[in-house]
Amino acid sequence: MSDFADSAAVSELMRHYGKWRSIYALAGKPSRDEPRWDDEGRLWLSYGYPHPDWTAFVIEPQLDGYKLFRASTERRNEPVLSPQGFFSRLDVAGKYVIAKVGNYLRIDCRMDPVTWAWEDAGLEDRVGEVVYSDREVKYFHSSDENNYFVMTLADRPYSHILPLTYDDLNSLLLMGFPEHVTCAAK
């Protein structure tokens, strides 16, 4: 765990996740929880913990990448982990989490989620895909096939995160918010 927890990629993810925690507060919404590690070396990015019905994204390091799970305690005491996908690099998994978190806030603030525009656009121009089935699709950056994630056909809109930096993604997600909210992303 310590190699994963101490990596530059984790620091970068934590920095951007921290910005979104501040952005939530500035938007007048309950802030997301402080990230935490479990005994198995997984990173938990939760919302509402330890209150009933809390949820989380859970990133689990693997030898060749990162598994991402969604945890939920809806109508249960112990969280249930649902596999979301496999990511070749931590920054790709991190951008997916930031895209979800940012879109949750946009919806909570009665704004259109960015994923609607991505859905309308289809597969991102700089991204290729290999469809194994509707439940398993590999999305990869055309100029770097080691920059990829494996999810479902329904996750095609998220192909747009692959060529983006965290800052590019933050800018897209913050479009339309007032200046007092967007200042947290600087």
Encode pLDDT of 106-156 as tens digits: 999 999 999 999 999 999 999 999 999 989 999 999 999 899 999 999 999
Under the banding of pLDDT at 50, 70 and 90, the label for residue 182 is confident
Q: What is d(CA 25, CA 12) in angstroms, rounded to the nearest whole number?
A: 20
Lay out the sheet containing 36-37: strands in order across. 36-37, 43-47, 55-62, 65-72, 80-87, 144-151, 136-141, 127-133
Quote the pLDDT of residue 39. 87
| Bridge pairing between strands 55-62 and 127-133 | unpaired
Query: Given a cut of 50, is residue 1 above it in pLDDT?
Result: no
The pLDDT, as a whole number, for residue 5 is 61
Task: Share the mean pLDDT of the chain.
Answer: 91
Q: What is the model's pLDDT at position 3?
A: 64
CA-angle at 11, arms to 150 and 176, nearest 5°: 75
pLDDT reading at 2 higher than 60: no
Question: H helices of the chain, where?
Answer: 2-5, 8-26, 90-108, 114-121, 166-174, 179-182
- Lowest-confidence segment of 12-26, 50-64, 85-99, 160-174 by average pLDDT: 50-64
CA distances to 5, 6, 119 from 125, in Å: 33, 34, 13
pLDDT at 65: 95
**CA-based nearest residue to 4, from 63, 76, 85:** 63
* Rounded Cα distance, 185 and 173, in Å: 10
For the chain, how big is the Rg over CA atoms in Å? 16
- Candidate from 13-27, 41-55, 145-159 with smallest mean pLDDT: 41-55
Average pLDDT over residues 92-109: 96
Q: 3-state class of 70 per DSSP?
A: strand
pLDDT digit string (tens) for 48-82?
777 777 888 999 999 999 999 999 887 667 778 89
Nearest-angstrom CA–CA distance, 36 and 17: 12
